[in-house]
Amino acid sequence: MEFDEEVFLTLYGDKLKKYMKDQISQKMVKNNVFEFDIGEFLKNYSDSCDINDQIIENPKLVEDPLLYVFKESYIDLFGEDEHVKKELEKTQIAFKNPLGCDKKIDEITSSEMNRLVKFEGNIIKAAKVCALLKKACFVCRACGEISYKTIHDYFEQPRSYCKNQNCRSEMSIDYDSSAYVNIQELEIQQPIDLMRNPDDPPRSIRVFLENSDGIYSGRVDVVGTVMKKLTRPNMPVFEIYAKSNHVKLGESFQKIEVKDIINNYDLINTLDELGKKENIIDILSNYLIPQIKGYDLVKKAIFLQQVKACTKFLPDGSELRKDSHILLITDPGIGKSTMLRKISRLFPQNSYASVTTATGGGLTANVVREATEIGDGWVVKPGVFVRANEGTACIDELTVDKNVMKYILEAMESQTIHVNKGGINVKLPARCAVLAACNPKRGRFDRNMGVVEQIGIPAPLLSRFDLIFPLKDSPDRRRDAEIAEHILDTHVETATKNYSKVLGSIKIDGITVDENLIKNYIIYARTCAYFDENHHLYAGEVDERKIKSPPLSKGAKKLIRDYYVDMRKLGEGNNPVPVTARQLEAAIRISEMHAKARLSREVEEKDAKIAIDIIEECLRQVAYDPETGKFDIDKGMGEIPKSKVDKMDKIVDIIRELSVLSSNGLADECDIVEKASEFQISEKDVSDMLSKLKKSADVFSPKYGYYRLT
């Protein structure tokens, strides 16, 4: 439709003026930007719905009459003087909440040129914030005439001619008197959940964000005008980009979904009924990854990981970690990659990466130099952990590249990624659970070695995992027959499209449970939406500090405390330390997850018992020292267990004693072995201890077969 400014002001001027006066009096102008909320305006003036179409069709042309009305409204309220007049020239209009122009990024084509669109996507690249000449002050050098012009096209040199009939000279820009705004270049990628085929490469669009305070990661809602940029000077081919002055971080998927759930009373009744069923967690956790047969405890832990623990804040506002980190160490063929890929596709904020093809920066965040239209070329590229904020980062083949592990440590420890390079200093949120997997060093488990010894993960990183599950492929005729039958049924069902026995939905007391329902159940439990008093909190902007969640009951608290104290007591004296405070916190988190997964209003003793059982099973697999018959947390965290430390100390004493008695001050290895046998230390252990002592520089060997203390 053809735009006529005079007609526009005649039709909408009075209503716009009344609306703007109300907004100005509520101090809705920030940093010289007035956000014109189209949706809110139409709520108050429903008979002016055509203004929405006018703005969508002609966003650049509508700005000037809106600015004119804004200036009049402001002057009516506060009067006019030279200072006010000068400040009003700096004012910008930002469009917010337009109706009927929602697009997916792959739908933004040349047909949308010069139109207003609204879309959402993930930030995959963000440059530094720079200054943009937004309202140029033109001065005529011949007659002194002054005029202001809003800059809409970044890639054309602004020009203006004197309006004085007797002059008509080309005017010059007075840069000191012109108005500037912040601008930031972003690249926004279409989210996988909005793609027709998730396996297709995602589309992205460049966005120039005006009035930006600096945004570097997250899923965002963008309102902007589709523009064009000439790519080659001698060819009429243009790149499509979006000029925006309103971008806001989108709500997380779970908060959007929970709003739909609490407005669907039939669905709420169904979910509440499921929560009352006996063993509902076991049933749903098995159904969560139907392609894999067995490993029920691992599936339960992963299911609880998706539910997450309770959201809790310290008095200073910092949040306690609610995510559980899980490591799977598996023989080949177990299906670890299948598990990780399934979880990565469960929710949009879950992400998958394999260390075989990823870099440390690709997992966390990169600051790299690339060609940009504005700034000095330094851009931030958020990695997997940042994209998985509020979700789960699924990291496959964790031990393939040791250099990557140092990047992962900070992400797991503080759940933030600090970036400081190229003049960019930002902190990116990475509040996600980690589900990682790897194979043993030699491909398969060596039964003569401890589990943790076979993976080569540094102790500081290994200690960040709440649960470590070794999954061994041991031949068993009955179990192998069940797995073979399960795999064959899976292939038959996918070939015939008759999903029934393995991949189909299941019935629980008349309730049909499919993948969509299990997602809703997890979100319902995770957000504590089963508390009626939380429903009104999800109606608007969600304040997580006010969300009610299940507290620890006295019985659960006592059970966890007694378990921790009793286990610690086993480490008194010269005994190995069985657990640390990290296992205590893990028990609390898993107890809360289990209570929420049952839709319980309180963490009960049975929740605490399940949590303790899961942690004990992991300790039994990775921290049990067969030499002492006790748990040793150092062994489970990749450190040398106390039984071996004692042997090393004894070998040091033997070397010291033999060195004093020998004429050359050296201890013969044969004598060391003979002396060590008196203390029940085998020849193999002596060889291992000597290797470790040499590596730690406690002893050295000046010639083959002889040792001396350093």
Kindly state the percentage of the chain with pLDDT values over 90.
38
**Residues linked to residue 319 through DSSP beta bridges, in sequence order:** 313
Least confident among 313-322, 518-527, 661-670: 661-670
Least confident among 118-122, 243-247, 456-460, 642-646: 642-646
Q: Is 268 a residue whose pLDDT tops 90?
A: yes
Q: What digits encode the pLDDT tens for the residues 617-643?
A: 998 888 777 666 677 676 666 666 767
Strand 326-330 to 433-438 pairing: parallel
Of the two residues 217 and 650, the one the predictor is more confident about is: 217
The C-alpha atoms of residue 368 and residue 501 are separated, in whole angstroms, by 50
How many Cα atoms within 13 Å fall on the side-chain side of residue 387?
31
Q: What digits encode the pLDDT tens for the residues 9-51?
A: 999 999 999 999 998 888 767 777 888 999 999 999 988 889 9
Q: Which ranges of 457-514 would DSSP assign to H, the alpha helix?
A: 459-462, 477-496
Predicted pLDDT of residue 164: 85
Predicted pLDDT of residue 469: 94
Exposed, middle or buried, 658 (CB in 10 Å: 0-12/13-18/19+)? Answer: buried
The DSSP 8-state label assigned to residue 345 in this structure reads: T
Sheet holding 706-709, edge to edge: 667-668, 706-709, 699-703
Within a 10 A sphere around the Cβ of 180, how many other Cβ atoms? 15
Q: Is 432 a residue whose pLDDT tops 90?
A: yes
Task: pLDDT band for 468, please (50, 70, 90 cuts).
Answer: very high
Task: pLDDT band for 282, please (50, 70, 90 cuts).
Answer: very high
Predicted pLDDT of residue 344: 92
Predicted pLDDT of residue 253: 64
Distance from chain centroid for Cα 545: 20
Predicted pLDDT of residue 653: 82
Least confident among 86-90, 398-402, 548-552, 561-565: 86-90
Predicted pLDDT of residue 640: 67
Predicted pLDDT of residue 252: 66
Predicted pLDDT of residue 613: 95
Mapped onto helix, strand or coil, the DSSP state of residue 428 is strand
Contact status, residue 470 vs residue 452, Cβ threshold 8 Å: no
Predicted pLDDT of residue 654: 82
The C-alpha atoms of residue 351 and residue 198 are separated, in whole angstroms, by 13
Q: Which ranges of 473-579 would DSSP assign to H, the alpha helix?
A: 477-496, 515-526, 554-569
Q: Is 154 a residue whose pLDDT tops 90?
A: no
Q: What digits encode the pLDDT tens for the residues 512-523?
A: 999 999 999 999
The C-alpha atoms of residue 466 and residue 640 are separated, in whole angstroms, by 19
The C-alpha atoms of residue 226 and residue 115 are separated, in whole angstroms, by 6
Q: What digits encode the pLDDT tens for the residues 584-613?
A: 999 999 999 999 999 999 999 999 999 999
Q: What digits encode the pLDDT tens for the residues 530-582?
A: 998 888 888 777 778 888 999 999 999 999 999 999 988 888 877 777 888 89
Q: What digits encode the pLDDT tens for the residues 100-136?
A: 999 999 999 999 999 999 999 999 999 988 888 888 8
Of 710, 619, 606, residue with least CA distance to 666: 710
Predicted pLDDT of residue 189: 92
Predicted pLDDT of residue 636: 60
Of the two residues 699 and 394, the one the predictor is more confident about is: 394
Predicted pLDDT of residue 526: 93
Q: Is 1 a residue whose pLDDT tops 60?
A: no
The C-alpha atoms of residue 456 and residue 112 are separated, in whole angstroms, by 54
Predicted pLDDT of residue 225: 93
Predicted pLDDT of residue 626: 66
Of 372, 458, 396, 428, residue with least CA distance to 183: 372
**Mean pLDDT over residues 502-510, rounded?**
87
- What does pLDDT average to over the chain? 87
Count Cβ neighbours within 10 Å for each residue of 133-169 and write b for 16 or more, e otherwise: bbbbbbbbeeeebeeebbebebeeebebebeeeeeee
Predicted pLDDT of residue 403: 86
Predicted pLDDT of residue 488: 92
Predicted pLDDT of residue 639: 63
Task: pLDDT band for 451, please (50, 70, 90 cuts).
Answer: confident
pTM score of the predicted model: 0.83
